[in-house]
Structure 1
Amino acid sequence: MVGKDFPSSDGSEKPAQALPPLSASDLRTYNRMADGMEQFHNHFRLSWRELYAAVEKRSGNLSARQLISGLTNFCRQLDFHHSIEEKHIFPVLAKKMPEFRKELDLLKQHKQIHAGLDNLEAYLEKCRSGEEDLRREEVKRLMDSFGTVLWNHLDEEVETLKADNMRKYWSLEEMRRLPM
């Protein structure tokens, strides 16, 4: 971005320079991570919408058992996805990109999301064991407790991985070697 400062690879601030237009091939290379992440995130968006509709009884006739299973799978898949990001992708990106350092928003969002997932999973386990009956209004309340941060995160993470941002920090050759 012209006129804005952004961190250099050594962490110091330096004036941003206008970046030249990208060829179609280079744009694909720089957008590779964003495009891949968008596919994963679209899966989570679709799953969330379907499960939320079932919780509100707007869609389908999922039994309590099916709903518990679907929600548990959603929680586990999202946890697994974030685990891969935090162990294998974010540490590499954090070497040059402040957005992926532990003290900043994307990882704080993970913590907020996982607090909500943990509460939802604990409730679902009580329902699965028979300790409690599944109450859809309680599931909705638990999903609502972290839904906003989840949806913001799904959008913000992809936006951070798009070409306009990535090319500030990474060369084309480095982009080709980044994990994902």
Structure 2
Amino acid sequence: MAGATAVNPMPVLSEASRPDPKLVAQELPTLSASDFRVYNKLAVMMDAYHNRFRQTWNMLYSVCQEGQRTAGLSIRSFIQTGLQFCHHLHIHHTIEERHIFPELAERMDCFKDDDELIHQHEQIAVGLEKFQAYLQECQSSSREFRLGELKTILDSFGTVLWTHLDQEVKMLGAENMRKYWTKQEIMSMEW
């Protein structure tokens, strides 16, 4: 339709109608099991994605730490798994930064561009770039594949990655989300 404007499906609360999160924490009643599930749905969804990253990381890291591949895992398969990990985590962070965080940042400072979660994305990206470049060089045979070198790269960003995976889920947890969003708003979030 000509002249039609996009409608934000999320109701916009005026500053005056938004609860002060510092005060709300003391005043909020205990959530019913049903309400908890609603408020916690984003944390559950995010944790499912993050668990896939944790599982792949653990497999890659354990191979590097033990200094040998598991039975049936070729170097080629190992490298491909690492490259897929890099690609999937990069896409995941891009979606968060372009679509999820901006909406959440309207009310939650922890999702703003100048906050810790975004800085963690930046630190993880540096490590992922090194990890991906190393694997690509090994894949093209321009570099010899060495598990010790790969472990050093993983160690360079592993702590911030694991902290981020946990912290982001915590920020999306029911007890935090209900400080900023109504149950209806949570149910209308489409990501």
> TM-score of the superposition, structure 1-length normalised?
0.90
Shift of 1:10: 4.0
Q: Which residue, out of 54, 68, 74, partners 1:63? A: 74
- Residue aligning to 1:127: 138
Higher Rg: 2
Change in 2 beyond 3 A, CA 1:177/1:99: same
Paired amino acid for 2:173: K
Q: What is the rounded CA distance, in whole Å, between the counterparts of 2:97 and 2:48 in structure 1?
A: 18
Determine what percentage of the aligned residue pairs are the same residue.
45
Q: Where do 5+ consecutive residues of structure 2 fail to align?
A: 1-12
Match in the other structure for 1:52:
61
Structure 1 CA distance for aligned equivalents of residues 19 and 181 of structure 2: 16
Matched-pair contact (CA < 8 Å) for 1:50–1:59: no
Question: CA–CA distance in 1 between the matches of 2:78 and 2:23?
Answer: 50
Contact preservation (8 Å) 2:19, 2:179: no
Cα distance change of structure 1 residues 29 and 58 upon mapping to structure 2, 3 Å threshold: farther
**1:81 equivalent in structure 2:** 92
Taking the aligned partners of 2:19 and 2:42, their CA distance within structure 1 comes to: 25
Change (3 A) 1:10 1:140: farther
Pair 1:105-2:116 in alignment: yes
CA–CA distance in 1 between the matches of 2:45 and 2:81? 24
Assess, with a 3 A threshold, how the Cα gap between structure 1 residues 162 and 169 changes in structure 2: closer, same or farther. Answer: same
1:42 aligns with 2:51: yes
Distance (Å, rounded) in 2 between the aligned partners of 1:124 and 1:43 = 20
**Is 1:158 matched up with 2:165?**
no
Which structure is higher in RCO with an 8 Å CA cutoff and minimum separation 6?
2
C-alpha RMSD over aligned residues? 2.0
Paired residues, number: 173
C-alpha distance in 1, partners of 2:142/2:19?
Answer: 55
The 1-side partners of 2:152 and 2:93 are apart by 23
How much does 1:86 deviate? 0.9
Determine if the alignment matches structure 1 residue 139 to structure 2 residue 173: no
1:16 counterpart (19, 23, 43): 23
**Partners in 1 of 2:14 and 2:112 — Cα distance?**
13
Structure 2 contact 19–180 (Cα < 8 Å) conserved: no
Does structure 2 retain, via aligned residues, the 8 Å contact 1:106–1:153? yes
1:146-175 C-alpha deviation (Å, 9 max, x unpaired): 000000000000000001100000001110
